[in-house]
Amino acid sequence: MSDLAIIHGDLAMFQPNFGAALVTVPPGVMSATGTMTIMGKKVCLEGDEKKVSVPGTYIKPPYVIPGMGTVTIKKLAGDQLTKKSLNGKKMILKGKMYDTEFTVSAPAMQPTPTGPVPDGGPKYNGKGQFVSTNVKCFPT
């Protein structure tokens, strides 16, 4: 089997469902550290996904006054790394879905007659996927 390599500038997309929380966040942009290039852009290596950090807003009914936080890529799936390494690190592949984490910085609020009540969840887990602009496939 083969898959597309992720290169500098490719997008890290996030699904809006983080358990009971609904997160609105723009895509993250991958920044590559590989020395090898494809289409004139560096390839992303294992660990580059850790640099993706995107601010967003969330609600978690009945906490409908939006809160804020940051989405990160928590863990790549097994099909998102090459089996062979380049200089000790594996290349990141498009694969299926990676695990994401939304860390709350300002909680969403539930409106009540006595005043807003904050959501108590500090983190929520979700999924995401890469969008590759590369057209060259690599063995998985």
Asked if residue 30 belongs to a domain, the reply is yes
User: Range of 45's domain?
Assistant: 2-106+118-127
Q: What is the C-alpha to C-alpha distance for residues 137 and 6, in angstroms, rounded to an integer?
A: 10
Contact 128, 2 (CB under 8 A): no
Distance (Å, rounded) from C-alpha 99 to C-alpha 71?
11
Helix, coil or strand: residue 61: coil
For residue 48, is it within any domain?
yes
Q: Given a cut of 60, is residue 1 above it in pLDDT?
A: no
Answer whether residue 133 is part of any domain. no
In this prediction, residue 2 carries a pLDDT of 66
Q: Is the pTM of this model over 0.85?
A: yes
Cis peptide bond prior to 62, omega within 30° of 0: yes
Please give the radius of gyration of the chain, using alpha carbons only, rounded to the nearest integer: 17
Look at the chain and report how many structural domains it folds into: 1
The two structure tokens encoding residue 92: 């990141």
Q: How confident is the model at residue 88 (pLDDT cuts 50, 70, 90)?
A: confident
Tens digit of pLDDT for each residue in 44-75?
A: 999 999 999 999 999 999 999 999 999 999 99
- The predicted pLDDT at position 85 comes to 81
